[in-house]
């Protein structure tokens, strides 16, 4: 085995100790999937990323594997934005130059990454690997129970709560007000009942709640709970933000580009600022990152 360099970043923030923390291993060669999972469990962040050389003949700059504390994910937003930042910071990886854009090879499909170096500041964004997919509806009572709210807190005028995905599924529901969003608390027992009732084929049952600003519908506040993945609350969830933006674009006008500014993590004291744009049925999410730590894992 040996020693493995890692870095940590706060993603979707320009302030240290904001956004969503992420650990990135720029070279995970020699680590088995089981060991990667054990390392992610040890770090106990929302996600930990391991980068590997891309398949031979691939256009990708690297293969990216993403782990929560309990499972591997086919795709996720903030890990990709953070990993792209690491690659862009070191101007490439595995002998390939980053330039202004590159591709990650992932289980959900190729993920396009974009680099913005304007104004002397580095920012990265990524395009979700899949178009919008809307799955089964989830009853209002289950959503409310999972968030420790009354069923009247869930708004259904725009759409019913449902599984929404652009690479990773989330139960997505609109709430009636910011007060209701602030009162929400994850109930792990209710989440377990939801899994038992709906039996998702991928075993994920993560709840993404949002409220739109009545005076500016492009301004959105969100929270995301996933206690069954050992993530009681996530300060920034790029894949959920991307799925939400894709869903709202179908309601707001799919024939033109839509831009949404999504704020998450306020209730946790880790504000995250996510910009999502939807055009031609594809969604891009991005934002700033702050490097925090460098270290070496010895096994």
3-state secondary structure of 285: strand
Question: Scanning the structure block, which residue is given the tokens 């590159």?
Answer: 102
First-to-last C-alpha distance (Å) of the chain: 6
User: Does 196 qualify as catalytic in the annotation?
Assistant: no
HSE on the CB side for 84, CA within 13 Å? 34
Question: Scanning the structure block, which residue is given the tokens 């996933």?
Answer: 226
At 142, phi and psi to the nearest 5?
-65, -45
HEC string for 157-207: CCCCCEEEECCCCEEEEEECCHHHHHHCCCCHHHHHHHHHHHCCCCCCCCE
Catalytic residue among 34, 47, 59, 112: 47
Q: Are strands 92-93 and 96-97 parallel, antiparallel or unpaired?
A: antiparallel
Stated as kind and residue range, the H or E segment containing 60 is none
Q: Residue 241's closest CA among 157, 162, 170?
A: 170
Report the phi/psi class of residue 221: left, alpha or beta, with left for phi > 0 and alpha for psi in -120 to 50. beta
90: Cα separation from own chain's centroid: 23
Question: What letters, b where the CB count within 10 A reaches 16 and e where it falls short, cover 55-76?
Answer: eeeeebbbbbbbbbbeeebbbb
Please give the radius of gyration of the chain, using alpha carbons only, rounded to the nearest integer.
18
Cα separation, 97 vs 252, whole angstroms: 38
Q: What is the largest CA-CA distance in the chain?
A: 56
Residues assigned a catalytic role: 47
């Amino acid at each position: 085995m040996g020693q493995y360099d890692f870095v940590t970043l706060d993603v979707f923030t320009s302030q240290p100790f904001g956004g969503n923390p992420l650990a990135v291993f720029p070279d995970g060669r020699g680590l088995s999937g089981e060991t990667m999972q054990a390392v992610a469990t040890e770090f106990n962040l929302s996600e930990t990323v391991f980068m590997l050389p891309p398949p031979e003949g691939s256009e990708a700059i690297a293969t990216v594997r993403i782990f929560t504390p309990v499972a591997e994910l086919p795709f996720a937003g903030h890990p990709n934005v953070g990993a792209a930042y690491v690659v862009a910071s070191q101007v490439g990886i595995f002998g390939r130059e980053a330039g202004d854009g590159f591709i990650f090879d992932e289980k959900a499909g190729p993920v396009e990454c974009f680099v913005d170096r304007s104004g002397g500041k580095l920012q990265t964004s990524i395009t979700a690997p899949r178009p919008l997919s809307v799955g089964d509806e989830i009853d209002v009572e289950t959503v409310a129970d999972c968030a420790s709210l009354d069923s009247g807190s869930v708004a259904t005028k725009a759409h019913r709560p449902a599984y929404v995905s652009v690479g990773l599924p989330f139960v997505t529901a609109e709430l009636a007000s910011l007060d209701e969003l602030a009162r929400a608390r994850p109930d792990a027992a209710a989440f377990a009942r939801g899994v038992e009732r709906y039996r998702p084929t991928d075993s994920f049952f993560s709840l993404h709640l949002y409220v739109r600003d009545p005076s500016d519908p492009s301004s959105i506040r969100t929270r995301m709970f996933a206690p069954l993945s050992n993530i009681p609350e996530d300060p920034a969830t790029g894949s959920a933000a991307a799925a939400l933006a894709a869903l709202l674009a179908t309601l707001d006008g799919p024939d033109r580009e839509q831009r949404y500014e999504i704020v998450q993590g306020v209730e946790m004291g880790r504000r995250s600022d996510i910009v999502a744009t939807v055009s031609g049925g594809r969604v891009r999410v991005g934002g700033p990152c702050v490097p925090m730590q460098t270290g070496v894992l010895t096994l």
